[in-house]
A and B are shown apart, each in its own frame.
Chain A
């Protein structure tokens, strides 16, 4: 007897399954829109032929190069060719690396995933203790100073924070490495688990500063958010009831308040991801982090159209999937939400 797929997972109920199904055509539409926007934007200012000729190129060399790169065809034809290839999951070759664009993306993706996940962990878990402490000691000096730091954290440009970290934490006292990357996820994908876990401690030391620079803004914002939602929850009737029952403050906070204070945090995780990705570009440049953010920044500067397209599609898919997961988790946490 064939059981429906959702019955095997207690997380995924029937409603959710159909919700995911409903989202698929939307996703296709979004991907199509994103590629169209990118394509038009990259084509507005002319083609990238000039970046692939020698310093002293002659007009014939330029014309020949244009033909070889395929930019001599009309624009709509180029886009149709691109789309028909995309349907077959062929993103074309990167003009710059002369390799399939998807290969280049997949090679740089793991480093960015490491950075993103670590940053999001810091952004989420780093902010919780601060938010709760501030809420518990509302109006006291702890609250004041934590919130002051949080306020400052939302006002410093991340590139500056990164450079200051390099200068004072890495160079002056050499607590952490200055820049660079030691692969972990890449090795996992390649199946070299032993080497990967040997690398892990070093990988993390290289991750700390960049993820801190990415996440500091978010930590600050989330801490403030958690504080206010905690405050709200603490004033609710059921918390008052719990207190009046004589439960210890610790249990009241951990059991009752925390669970409900989480909700607004979960909603912003989806948005957080888009935000972290944005922060990642700048930070990858500063910390020489070989990730997708820098690759796509360079690719845009070099007009490497296939590479930009592939990167944008992959990143958009990520954002969409993370948002979907967020919606599902939210629905799970708060049964009042209907999908």
Chain B
């Protein structure tokens, strides 16, 4: 026993002096704290925002969308569009290499695009699933050493921004690897080279020998820290330089610390409550009620969106006026004010007076939990606001991935549901593409309004900026008056930033560390 105690004492004696102070990251290293691990590291298979953020440091794109919404050169230095709008030809910068030293040529770029579409490899996710279907991708071909052409099925106003979401890699290195190997050994073309991935723990990157765009820090480490309190503690202790998804209720504590501050941005993600218009819900009293535009309009007045932002999100906000982000929104539309009296009056007028129990009609509001900022509480608050005007709301808060997402994607969520849809600042059409056709994937409301959908024909048949903008504004008015969304807010994003570094967040949930510097 005595020996044991001595042994333990010796061991502790050896350990403690060496690790008493837990060191901050070295000066050339930037450490990010993320809530979830990456979903693989395959550049052609991306279905999460965090994965995309890590990948854009490892892989270059032809062009990339900047934080201001401009579309800037990345691996390519220029591009031109054919007269019929179907061919985009990019000229690559000179002297590009992949991280294994191989020269990056137009052939590699064309390979990267064609690989995503390769049916044998069976990729899904953002590039194969969303981007390629949106631009109707046909093929990519190398025209010369530095010229690559992407061929589309038809002209598309937002093709350039979408092409910017495809990651470029080298042909030889990827042909050598099996699909399994490629999923965890990215050989990149971007500013940072992959070093290692400890699953569930960290992804380590170092600056590439030949970065295509300038960057500061020598090393970048993405640490996975699932629990928000732990992320906050690590930030305050100075062990990480930046955390994403800081909890709104921990903002004051972070700001009060001497080591870190919270950077808030108004994001581009549009948070809304959808009114399902499909016949399956029309048989329920609530589902039938929200088929009437007057009822939907009445409910807009019932919810105090600024109060939700102020109290539950800890970030003052202006309520959205519709589907499009503010910089591209209709200039003359004002957000619906919070006025429960108008709401009650309109509901009376629409034929839904309060009954003896003070109830106008009953309705279910479904939501997933844990995906958006304070989502559970926001939804409970919305239900309370609707209750207050006599709409008895049954709040169903469901498991996000196992239950809610299948309901949403099968368009069976409702009659009301809460969700956020990723948006962009660089084009109003990107935001509006949620409702590009009555049967489009993200039209979870099954909205069929002709006045809205006929606008797409006008837009797709012209290149005249003025006509496009006029049509957009007309459609946005339709959406404002009769749309299937209860307008909420653009989700604010909270990043905790250590005082050790200068780093500014972007509005579109993308994280780039290229401009970060040490203070």
Question: Are the C-beta atoms of B230 and A98 separated by less than 8 Å?
Answer: no
Question: Are the C-beta atoms of B19 and A290 separated by less than 8 Å?
Answer: no
Q: Mark B168-203, 1 if CB is under 8 A from A, else 0.
A: 000000000001100110000000000000111100
Q: How far is the CB of B246 from chain A (nearest CB, A)?
A: 15
- Please give, as numbers and ranges, the residues of chain A lying within 8 Å of B440 by CB-CB distance: 56, 58
Interface status of B460 (Cβ within 8 A of chain A): no
- Please give, as numbers and ranges, the residues of chain B lying within 8 Å of A148 by CB-CB distance: none
Question: Are the C-beta atoms of B409 and A290 separated by less than 8 Å?
Answer: no
Question: Are the C-beta atoms of B15 and A54 separated by less than 8 Å?
Answer: no
Interface status of A202 (Cβ within 8 A of chain B): yes
Question: Are the C-beta atoms of B124 and A52 separated by less than 8 Å?
Answer: yes
Question: Are the C-beta atoms of A287 and B230 separated by less than 8 Å?
Answer: yes
- What's the Cα separation between A167 and B422 when bound, in Å? 35
Which chain A residues numbered 157 to 197 have a C-beta less than 8 Å away from chain B?
Answer: 163, 166-167, 170-171, 174-175, 177-181, 183
Interface status of A119 (Cβ within 8 A of chain B): no
- What's the Cα separation between A211 and B246 when bound, in Å? 26
- What's the Cα separation between A205 and B409 when bound, in Å? 46
Given known contacts A53-B129, A57-B130, is B442 in contact with A97 (CB within 8 Å)? no
- Please give, as numbers and ranges, the residues of chain A lying within 8 Å of B130 by CB-CB distance: 54-57, 61
Interface status of B508 (Cβ within 8 A of chain A): no
Interface status of A254 (Cβ within 8 A of chain B): yes
Interface status of B227 (Cβ within 8 A of chain A): yes
Question: Are the C-beta atoms of A171 and B125 separated by less than 8 Å?
Answer: no
- What's the Cα separation between A65 and B122 when bound, in Å? 8
- Please give, as numbers and ranges, the residues of chain A lying within 8 Å of B439 by CB-CB distance: 59
Question: Are the C-beta atoms of B442 and A96 separated by less than 8 Å?
Answer: no
Given known contacts A50-B405, A55-B421, is B200 in contact with A108 (CB within 8 Å)? yes
Q: Mark B209-249, 1 if CB is under 8 A from A, else 0.
A: 00000000000000111110110011011010000000000
Interface status of A285 (Cβ within 8 A of chain B): yes
Give the residue name and chain of the B residue nearest to A129 (CB): B1
Question: Are the C-beta atoms of A45 and B402 separated by less than 8 Å?
Answer: yes
Question: Are the C-beta atoms of B47 and A52 separated by less than 8 Å?
Answer: yes
- Please give, as numbers and ranges, the residues of chain B lying within 8 Å of A287 by CB-CB distance: 230
Interface status of A64 (Cβ within 8 A of chain B): yes
Q: Mark B231-273, 1 if CB is under 8 A from A, else 0.
A: 0011011010000000000000000000000000000000000
- What's the Cα separation between A166 and B228 when bound, in Å? 12
- What's the Cα separation between A99 and B442 when bound, in Å? 30
Question: Are the C-beta atoms of A54 and B19 separated by less than 8 Å?
Answer: no
- What's the Cα separation between A180 and B403 when bound, in Å? 31
Stretch at the interface among B38-46, B59-67, B323-331: B38-46
Given known contacts A61-B129, A288-B224, A303-B402, is B234 in contact with A163 (CB within 8 Å)? no
- Please give, as numbers and ranges, the residues of chain B lying within 8 Å of A166 by CB-CB distance: 229-230, 233
Question: Are the C-beta atoms of B223 and A97 separated by less than 8 Å?
Answer: no
- Please give, as numbers and ranges, the residues of chain B lying within 8 Å of A183 by CB-CB distance: 198
Interface status of B21 (Cβ within 8 A of chain A): yes
- Please give, as numbers and ranges, the residues of chain A lying within 8 Å of B21 by CB-CB distance: 174
Question: Are the C-beta atoms of A301 and B40 separated by less than 8 Å?
Answer: no
Question: Are the C-beta atoms of B39 and A97 separated by less than 8 Å?
Answer: yes
- How many of chain B's residues have a CB under 8 angstroms from any CB in A? 62
Question: Are the C-beta atoms of A288 and B402 separated by less than 8 Å?
Answer: no
Given known contacts A56-B434, A58-B133, A291-B200, is B18 in contact with A201 (CB within 8 Å)? yes
Given known contacts A99-B183, A179-B225, A179-B230, is B237 in contact with A295 (CB within 8 Å)? no
Interface status of A252 (Cβ within 8 A of chain B): no
Interface status of B316 (Cβ within 8 A of chain A): no
Interface status of A302 (Cβ within 8 A of chain B): yes
Given known contacts A171-B237, A286-B230, is B14 in contact with A53 (CB within 8 Å)? no
Interface status of A100 (Cβ within 8 A of chain B): yes
Q: Say which residue of B39, B124, B201 sits within 8 Å of A68 (CB atoms).
A: B124
Interface status of B126 (Cβ within 8 A of chain A): yes
Interface status of B441 (Cβ within 8 A of chain A): yes
Interface status of A334 (Cβ within 8 A of chain B): no
Question: Are the C-beta atoms of B124 and A171 separated by less than 8 Å?
Answer: no
- What's the Cα separation between A205 and B15 when bound, in Å? 7
- Please give, as numbers and ranges, the residues of chain B lying within 8 Å of A205 by CB-CB distance: 15-16, 19
- Please give, as numbers and ranges, the residues of chain A lying within 8 Å of B134 by CB-CB distance: 56
Interface status of B478 (Cβ within 8 A of chain A): no
Interface status of B101 (Cβ within 8 A of chain A): no
- What's the Cα separation between A162 and B236 when bound, in Å? 17
- Please give, as numbers and ranges, the residues of chain B lying within 8 Å of A163 by CB-CB distance: 229
Question: Are the C-beta atoms of B125 and A54 separated by less than 8 Å?
Answer: yes
- Please give, as numbers and ranges, the residues of chain B lying within 8 Å of A298 by CB-CB distance: 36-37
Interface status of B501 (Cβ within 8 A of chain A): no
- Please give, as numbers and ranges, the residues of chain B lying within 8 Å of A57 by CB-CB distance: 129-130, 409, 441
- Please give, as numbers and ranges, the residues of chain A lying within 8 Å of B22 by CB-CB distance: 174, 177-178
Which residues of B pack against A, CB within 8 Å?
A: 1, 11, 14-16, 18-22, 36-37, 39-40, 42, 45, 47, 122, 124-126, 129-130, 133-134, 179-180, 183-184, 198-201, 223-227, 229-230, 233-234, 236-237, 239, 399-403, 405-406, 408-409, 421-422, 433-434, 439-442
Told that A58-B133, A286-B230 touch, could you supply 19 new A-B pairs with CB distance under 8 A?
A46-B406, A48-B401, A53-B409, A54-B124, A56-B130, A57-B129, A61-B124, A68-B124, A98-B45, A98-B183, A167-B233, A170-B233, A177-B22, A179-B225, A202-B19, A204-B11, A254-B1, A286-B227, A303-B401
A-B contact pairs, 25 of them (CB 8 A): A45-B403, A46-B406, A50-B409, A52-B47, A52-B124, A53-B124, A54-B126, A56-B434, A57-B441, A61-B130, A64-B124, A68-B122, A68-B124, A96-B39, A96-B40, A97-B199, A98-B40, A98-B42, A99-B180, A111-B201, A171-B236, A171-B237, A178-B233, A205-B19, A301-B401
